[in-house]
């Protein structure tokens, strides 16, 4: 029972870390005065992308795990390390070049850009044979809720929160990558 609770907790923390990217970008985007209907649609679309991308990653990860065994496990840890470092690095860069208009094709591009990291994490979780339904539900819900929160908070506050939230998400993924590479 304790192992199941630990697995669920870990999964929720990873889902939260991945959703922080959507939250931070949503903060900036929320400052362009979106209507509540637009905010609702953006959150749903990003949640859906956070279901499909890890699903593709899990399928690829299970294939790699079956073919490459222990090497695939180390690759998963390295992917999480790289993704965490990339999120931290991008939080330190100026934010001007990352703004995409959340309409039509721009919205699809936005959803894809904030969910690409879910593919990498899904790949790692597939290698470790995580429970697919739990992964997809937690990733989708966390991304949807955190996107809504980012967009709504972005309507109310200045942009400084975005940088810190993305760095926090990157730090969490970095920690999980280290945990996978250095079993304690």
C-alpha separations of 143 from 3, 4, 62 in Å: 25, 22, 23
Total domain count, the chain: 1
Higher pLDDT, residue 142 or 89: 142
pTM exceeds 0.85: no
Cα–Cα distance, 87 to 169 (Å, whole number): 7
pLDDT at residue 159 in the model: 47
Q: pLDDT > 90: what percent of the chain?
A: 18
**What Rg do the C-alpha atoms of the chain give, in angstroms?**
16
CATH number at 124 reads 1.20.1250
Which residue, among 87, 89, 94, has the nearest Cα to 116 in the 3D structure?
Answer: 87
Indicate the average pLDDT of the chain.
79
Cα–Cα distance, 53 to 167 (Å, whole number): 22
pLDDT at 38 over 60: yes
* Enclosing domain of residue 10: 2-181
């Amino acid at each position: 029972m304790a192992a199941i609770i630990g697995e669920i907790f870990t999964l929720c923390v990873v889902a939260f870390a991945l959703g922080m990217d959507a939250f931070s970008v949503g903060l900036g985007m929320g400052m362009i005065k979106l209507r509540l209907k637009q905010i609702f649609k953006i959150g749903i679309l990003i949640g859906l992308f956070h279901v499909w991308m890890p699903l593709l990653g899990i399928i690829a990860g299970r294939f790699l795990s079956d073919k490459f065994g222990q090497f695939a496990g180390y690759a998963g840890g390295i992917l999480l390390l790289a993704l965490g470092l990339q999120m931290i690095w991008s939080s330190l860069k100026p934010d001007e070049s990352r703004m995409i208009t959340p309409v039509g094709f721009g919205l699809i591009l936005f959803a894809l850009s904030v969910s690409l990291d879910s593919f990498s994490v899904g790949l790692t979780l597939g290698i470790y044979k995580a429970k697919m339904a739990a992964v997809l539900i937690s990733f989708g819900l966390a991304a949807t809720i955190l996107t809504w929160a980012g967009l709504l908070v972005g309507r109310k506050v200045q942009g400084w929160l975005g940088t810190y939230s993305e760095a926090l998400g990157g730090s969490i993924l970095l920690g999980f990558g280290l945990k996978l590479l250095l079993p304690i």
